[in-house]
Amino acid sequence: MHFGTKLIHNGHEADGATGSVNVPIVQTSTFDQKERFRGGADAKAPEFEYARSGNPTRKALEETIAFLESGAKGYAFASGVAAISSVLGTFSAGDHIIAAQDIYGGSWRILNTFYKRWGLKSSSFDATDPQTLRKAIKPETKAVLLETPSNPLLKITDLLSCTKIAQEAGLVSIVDNTFMTPYLQRPLELGADIVLHSATKFLGGHSDVIAGLVVTKNEALGRAVYAVQTGFGAVLGPHDAWLVLRGIKTLKVRMDAQEQSAQKIALWLQANPAVTEVFYPGLTDHPGRTINEAQASGAGAVLSFKTKTPQEALKFLGGVDYAAPAESLGGVETIISYPVRMSHASMPEQERQRLGITDTLIRVSVGLEDTDDLIADFDKALSR
């Protein structure tokens, strides 16, 4: 089965009870257990008891994402951040986590505030150089958190090299696969142990739901994540699970079109005199292009670029008509964002400077509008 077929045929294409071609939204908090008690003293507990510990709609999404990511178990959370926090919740005070330098701002924040207070230690490494991971490993290191392409500078991490180093040191490798989705990149096939998503982005795809997903390589890691999911309770509701299931069906056509458009826009930006730098792994001169081509089947639909001055960046953000200056990415509409004020606002200025996240940097998530209209919109906003 090819991937496009898997998106449609993944074991949830017809409901057993009614034949409905869509997974029903089972909007309930609890399940009647009469049968259990009629079955005598040692009758088994039913599969669904209480909707925090399990819900059929959520289960359909969890099985679908596990299948698409080539994993053993899937779990759905109330947000991408809830997914990351719940995975980090499987570790203990005193454990040490190594995170890629430019991980998602929210992941950085949770590690450096909440989990820090609870005694989980963390440090960062330059994920464009896997050898620096080896040097960052301490006796108490338990895991490495990776993300490729990185946010917002689209740097590429060699997943195979990093997961190999992690494996040799007995570390759990965790990959945030939000930007690529399993259509373009499947980290578990490249040696990762846990893959996670903000399904708010490309998987949901329509900017209408906040959701997070986790897939584990094996059952044992799955049990650890499940204990946090049901214990901590940041679960995804059935209606939101259904929206993500619906979004997943069109992932391939959306990604293909958005990526094609992103490639054209990246080239156009590169040729624009108002733009000083363009970051997109599909560009020939991108330093991570070869690695990305080896581990992913595309460059995705997110790019970023720098203007000459912060004033020009602000003028661009205020000057576009079609693109929405907003948080988030991965929707059918083009979204432009200003990392210093948005996703990376909580990162100290000094840290941002070190990473090159400047006040001239703009991130673009290319949507499904006609490319020519987007280019005309950008052209107008850049030359205004």
For ligand PLP, which residue of 212, 247, 298, 339 counts as binding (CB under 6 A)?
Answer: 212
Q: Quick one: CA dihedral 360, 181, 212, 85, positive or negative?
A: negative
Q: Does 200 bind ligand PLP (CB under 6 A)?
A: yes
Among 55, 57, 128, 151, binds ligand PLP (CB under 6 A): 151
Task: Quote the crossing angle between the two packed helices 80-88 and 105-112, to the nearest 10°.
Answer: 40
Nearer to ligand PLP, 96 or 201 (CB): 201
What dihedral do alpha carbons 56, 61, 65, 66 form, nearest 10°? 0
* Shorter beta-carbon distance to ligand PLP: residue 146 or 382: 146
176 is catalytic: yes
Contact 74, 248 (CB under 8 A): no
DSSP alpha helices (H): ranges in the chain? 3-8, 34-38, 56-68, 80-88, 105-112, 114-117, 131-136, 159-168, 181-184, 219-232, 238-249, 251-270, 289-295, 310-319, 349-355, 371-383
Window 28 to 87, contacts with ligand PLP (CB under 6 A): 79-81
CA dihedral (257, 262, 265, 271) in degrees, to 10, reads -140
3-state secondary structure of 184: helix
Least distance to ligand PLP, CB of residue 371, Å: 23
Catalytic-residue membership of 246: no
Can you tell me the distance from the alpha carbon of 232 to that of 216, in angstroms, rounded to the nearest whole number? 18
Q: Is 358 exposed, middle or buried (0-12, 13-18, 19+ CB in 10 A)?
A: middle
Measured at the CA of 272, the angle between CA 270 and CA 274, to 5 degrees, comes to 115
354 is catalytic: no
- Beta carbon of residue 39, minimum distance to ligand PLP (angstroms, whole number): 41
Question: Mask of contacts with ligand PLP, 81-100, x by CB under 6 A?
Answer: x-------------------
Find the shortest distance in angstroms from Cβ 335 to ligand PLP: 11
Binding residue for ligand PLP, selected from 104, 279, 316, 338, defined by CB under 6 A: 104
Q: What is the rounded CA–CA span in Å between residue 239 and residue 196?
A: 20
Least Cβ distance, residue 365 to ligand PLP (angstroms) = 9
Of residues 137 and 361, the one with the C-beta less far from ligand PLP: 361
Question: Active site includes 201?
Answer: yes
The residue with its CB nearest to ligand PLP is 80
Least distance between ligand PLP and beta carbon 219 (Å): 25
Q: Is 203 in the site for ligand PLP (CB under 6 A)?
A: no
How far is it, in rounded angstroms, from Cα 225 to Cα 134?
Answer: 26
Catalytic residue among 158, 176, 193, 359: 176
Least distance to ligand PLP, CB of residue 209, Å = 9
Residue 205 interacting with ligand PLP (CB under 6 A): no
Subset of 262-281 contacting ligand PLP (CB under 6 A): none
x/- map, 162-181, ligand PLP, by CB under 6 A: --------------x-xx--
**210 to each of 142, 168, 307, how far by Cα in Å?**
29, 36, 31
Please, what sign has the CA dihedral across residues 351, 281, 372, 179?
Answer: negative
Distance in angstroms (rounded) separating the CA atoms of residues 66 and 53: 18
**Interface size with ligand PLP, residues (CB under 6 A):** 15
Question: CA 228 to CA 221: how far, in whole Å?
Answer: 11
Q: Which of 7, 210, 299, 303 binds ligand PLP (CB under 6 A)?
A: 210
Residue ranges that bind ligand PLP, judged by CB under 6 A: 79-81, 104, 106, 147, 151, 176, 178-179, 198, 200-201, 210, 212
Catalytic residues: 52, 104, 176, 201
